[in-house]
Amino acid sequence: MTINGWMQIALFCALVLALTRPLGGFLARLYAGERTFLHPVIGPVESGFYRLSGVRPGAEQGWASYALAMLAFNLAGFAAVYGLLRLQGVLPFNPQGFSGVTPDLALNTAISFVTNTNWQSYGGEATLSYGSQMWALTVQNFVSAATGMAVAVALVRGFARRSAGGLGNFWADLTRSVLYVLLPACILLALVYAALGVPQTLEPYVSAKTLEGAEQTIALGPVASQLAIKMLGTNGGGFFNANSAHPFENPSELANLIQMVSIFAIGAALTNVFGRMVGDERQGWAILGAMGALFLAGVALVYWAEVGANPIHAALGLDPASGNMEGKEVRFGIALSALFAVVTTAASCGAVNAMHDSFSAIGGLIPMLNMQLGEVIVGGVGAGLYGVLLFAVVAVFVAGLMVGRTPEYVGKKIESREVKLTMLALLCSPAATLIGLAIASVSPLSLAGLQESGPHGFSEMLYATTSAAANNGSAFAGLTANAPFWNILLAAGMMIGRFALIVPMLAVAGSLARKPVVPVSAGTFPTHGPLFVGLLVGVILIVGGLTYFPALTLGPVADAFATAAGATW
């Protein structure tokens, strides 16, 4: 580990922290329906949309109708993406003349983009036309991110409101997220990326003759525009198969830094929105503090693991001082690859700038654990906040009793209904991951797609089912996932991981909103200090992580010990 490496990590953290408060303030005003500096320009567009669709943005929805609106919108999104991919062959903007996508791949891809997972069973430049990338995938990149932001804000309203029936209006929250946040920021970012060298063109791929005289096709396309939302909306679906390890998708260190910061920007700001809306910004900082502690621990572990040399390589005469550079871009090196891997799995982004499969066993374990904890370390836009708030509810319920009062969080009593729904929401992701993994472990169909055997092969499967259920979308690689078995198994995991969590979570929000607020006193369980941060970290690790211990032991942990012992499969 080098000073330089840590400086770069520190710079990243400083930028995210610096953005949290201003962006949080803007978002809080936006979701409260107040005017922002963007209203003079965007306001008319927004109200135009409402007039067209007949939405009354002030009409309050209860949790059930909020959830129904969210589900209906996402179902329509799924149908649209599926249809567009299947019909790709006859649709315009297809200079490479790609044919329609197969049914199982179209299903997997549609669900992948609706659920903000962006798992790539497809190979971007080899399967999808410019048209499909733009109107199917990029559109979903925007609206799936906006869906996450909307439902997170609905949960925050549940905590913030007193004795209220409604959680806000899904259509208004969705529209505002897209129009005021994602769209303007992405236009700006796309221009920056283009300036840094990311292609933005509708021209067909370029053919070039290499020095050796071979023919090479260089893939191009409207990359910068998709890259912007892929990061900001924590989508992660790359334009190219190699994702942000591809030089056109990540041309320089500056582009790399901007990408990482934009993954965390909205997620971190939403913790501040939470603090502001419940009337105590410290509550938001405490949540971000717990996230930050887990994040830094993860970064340090991966960095440390990757700097360490692979004993098997060392035995072959490789210089141990170079660390584990397999699968990493030399341009980024170990520190930035480690940081990127933790950022992308802590948030539910899934973009990669290095191949996680080639990380050391422990270096690969942390990204998996990040996802298995529910991606609550900053997390996906919206998803991270509502995920961590569910853990906060459990933390407060378990330990809150220890101050001699029935549990309450930011003034709301946590009672059996909330506990029931929270447990239901927290159960679905482990269920999807572990049951999916169990099926994959015994099915010859799945094992056929594995590159490795032994613990590392198990890790590849574990990573895939985890990434799907956590709606991350990053891949460990090494697993040939574009086969009907994996496409369908992972599609199911993505669906459960997204909607089976959101619906009970919204029910929690509805139930909380109806409650009165208990005033704070010296007897109130303090949820803004370091003590709570420590408690929350403990609960996330124990309640969220223990479930995966057996699987992790048979995968990366066994892998690590085996590597240390020089065993191979």
Partner 1 sequence: MSAQTRSLFDFALIAPALASAARKLDPRQMIRNPVMFAVEIAAAVAAVLFARDLASGGSAAFSGQLTFWLWLTVYFATFSEAIAEGRGKAQADALRRTRSETMAKRLLGDGVGLEEIAAAALKVGDVVLVEPGDLIPGDGEVIEGVATVDESAITGESAPVIRESGGDRSAVTGGTKVLSDRIKVRITAASGSSFLDRMIALVEGAERAKTPNEIALTILLAGLSLIFVLAVATIPAFASYAGGVVPVIVLVALFVTLIPTTIGGLLSAIGIAGMNRLVRFNVLAMSGRAVEASGDVDVLLLDKTGTITLGNRQAAEFLPLPGVRPSELADAAQLASLSDETPEGRSIVVLAKEAHGLRGREMGPLEATFIPFTAQTRMSGVDMGASKIRKGAAEAVIAHVKQLGGTIPAELAEIVERVAKAGGTPLVVARDAQPLGVVYLKDIVKGGIRERFAELRAMGIRTVMITGDNPMTAAAIAAEAGVDDFLAEATPEMKLALIRREQAGGKLVAMCGDGTNDAPALAQADVGVAMQTGTVAAREAGNMVDLDSDPTKLIEIVGIGKQLLMTRGALTTFSIANDVAKYFAILPAMFVTLYPSLGALNVMGLASPESAILSAIIFNALIIVALVPLALRGVSYTPSSAAALLRRNLLVYGLGGLIAPFLGIKLIDMGVSALGLA
Q: Per rule CB under 8 A, is residue 441 in the interface with partner 1?
A: yes
Does 293 interact with partner 1 (rule: CB under 8 A)?
no
Nearer to partner 1 by Cβ, of 92 and 404: the residue is: 404
Query: How does DSSP classify residue 309?
Result: P
What lies within 8 Å, CB to CB, of 79 at 6+ separation is none
CB-based contact 256:353 (threshold 8 Å): yes
Residue 463 sits in the site that holds partner 1 (CB under 8 A): no
451 near partner 1, judged by CB under 8 A: no
Residue among 47, 99, 553, 568 that touches partner 1 (CB under 8 A): 553
- Choose which of 13, 68, 192, 398 interacts with partner 1 (CB under 8 A): 398
- Determine if 423 is a binding residue for partner 1 (CB under 8 A): yes
Residue 139 interacting with partner 1 (CB under 8 A): no
CB of 534 to partner 1, least distance (A): 8
Pattern of binders to partner 1 over 161-190, x per CB under 8 A? -x----------------------------
Q: Which stretch binds partner 1 (CB under 8 A): 296-304, 344-352, 378-386, 426-434?
A: 426-434
Q: Burial letters for 225-252: b for 16+ Cβ neighbours within 10 Å, e otherwise?
A: bbbbbbbbbbbbbbbbbbbbbbebbbbe
Of 151-159, 347-355, 364-372, 403-411, which segment contacts partner 1 by CB under 8 A? 403-411
Phi and psi torsions of 257, nearest 5°: -65, -45
Closest CA to 371 of 428, 452, 433, 441: 433
Quickly tell me which residue has 């029910």 as its tokens. 507
Separation in Å, CA 477 to CA 50, 271, 407: 43, 32, 44
| x/- map, 97-136, partner 1, by CB under 8 A | ----------------------------------------
**Considering the complex, what minimum distance in angstroms separates the CB of residue 567 from partner 1?**
7
DSSP E strands: which ranges in 360-423?
408-409, 412-413
Backbone torsion region of residue 26, taken as left when φ is above 0, otherwise alpha when ψ lies between -120 and 50, otherwise beta: alpha
Nearer to partner 1, 181 or 394 (CB): 394
Which of 11, 41, 59, 564: binder of partner 1 (CB under 8 A)?
564
Helix (H) and strand (E) counts for the chain? 23, 4
- Whether the CA torsion 278, 152, 21, 32 is positive or negative: it is negative
* Kind of pairing between the strands at 206-209 and 412-413: unpaired
Residue number, 33 or 279, with CB nearest to partner 1: 279
User: DSSP string covering 140-154, please?
Assistant: HHHHHHHHHHHHHHH
Residue 161, phi then psi, degrees to nearest 5: -80, 155
The only residue of 399, 483, 488, 514 in contact with partner 1, by rule CB under 8 A: 399
Burial of 541 (0-12, 13-18, 19+ CB in 10 A): middle
* Residue 424 binding partner 1, by CB under 8 A: yes
Binding status of residue 402 toward partner 1 by CB under 8 A: yes
Using alpha carbons only, give the angle 530, 535, 539 rounded to the nearest 5 degrees.
150
Q: Does 15 bind partner 1 (CB under 8 A)?
A: no
Using CB under 8 A as the binding rule, whether residue 400 contacts partner 1 is answered as yes
- Interacting positions 479-518 with partner 1 (CB under 8 A): 516-518
Residue 332: phi and psi, rounded to 5, are: -95, -30
- Pick 295 or 397: Cβ nearer partner 1: 397
- DSSP for residue 179: I
Q: Is 448 in the site for partner 1 (CB under 8 A)?
A: no
Judged by beta carbon, residue 35 or residue 162, the one nearer partner 1 is 162
Among 29, 282, 331, 405, binds partner 1 (CB under 8 A): 405
Angle between helices 484-513 and 454-469 (to 10 degrees): 40
When asked if residue 548 is in the footprint of partner 1 (CB under 8 A), the reply is yes
Q: How far is the CB of 501 from partner 1 (least distance, A)?
A: 14
Q: Is 546 in the site for partner 1 (CB under 8 A)?
A: yes
Task: Select the residue interacting with partner 1 from 300, 427, 483, 488 (CB under 8 A).
Answer: 427
CB atoms within 10 A of CB 336: 24
Residue 289 lies near partner 1 (rule: CB under 8 A):
no
148 with 382: CB under 8 angstroms? yes
Output the smallest distance, CB 518 to partner 1, in A.
Answer: 5
Residues 360 and 557: beta-carbon distance below 8 Å: no
Indicate the residue type of 11: L
Q: How far is the CB of 290 from partner 1 (least distance, A)?
A: 14
If the CB atoms of residues 249 and 375 are measured against partner 1, the closer one turns out to be: 375
Question: Taking the CB of residue 199, how many other CB atoms lie within 10 A of it?
Answer: 20
Residue 142 in contact with partner 1, rule: CB under 8 A: no
Interface segment toward partner 1; rule CB under 8 A; list 14-22, 242-250, 254-262, 525-533: 525-533
| DSSP-derived secondary structure for 107-172 | HHHHHHHHTT----SS-HHHH--HHIIIIIIIHHHHHHHHHHHHHHHHHHHHHH-SS-S----HHH
Nearer to partner 1, 91 or 554 (CB): 554
Candidates 179, 437, 475, 496: give the one binding partner 1 (CB under 8 A): 437
- Between 163 and 210, CB nearer to partner 1: 163
Is 565 near partner 1 (CB under 8 A)? yes
The least CB distance from residue 480 to partner 1, in Å, is 17
Question: Does position 279 bind partner 1 by CB under 8 A?
Answer: no
Q: State which H helix or E strand residue 206 sits in.
A: strand 206-209
Whole-number Å distance between alpha carbons of 559 and 359? 11
For position 296 contacting partner 1 by CB under 8 A, the verdict is no
Which residues are at the interface with partner 1 (CB under 8 A)? 162, 394, 397-407, 411, 414-416, 418-420, 423-424, 426-427, 430-431, 434-435, 437-439, 441-442, 447, 455, 457-458, 516-519, 521-526, 529, 531, 534-535, 538, 542-543, 546-551, 553-554, 557-558, 561-562, 564-565, 567
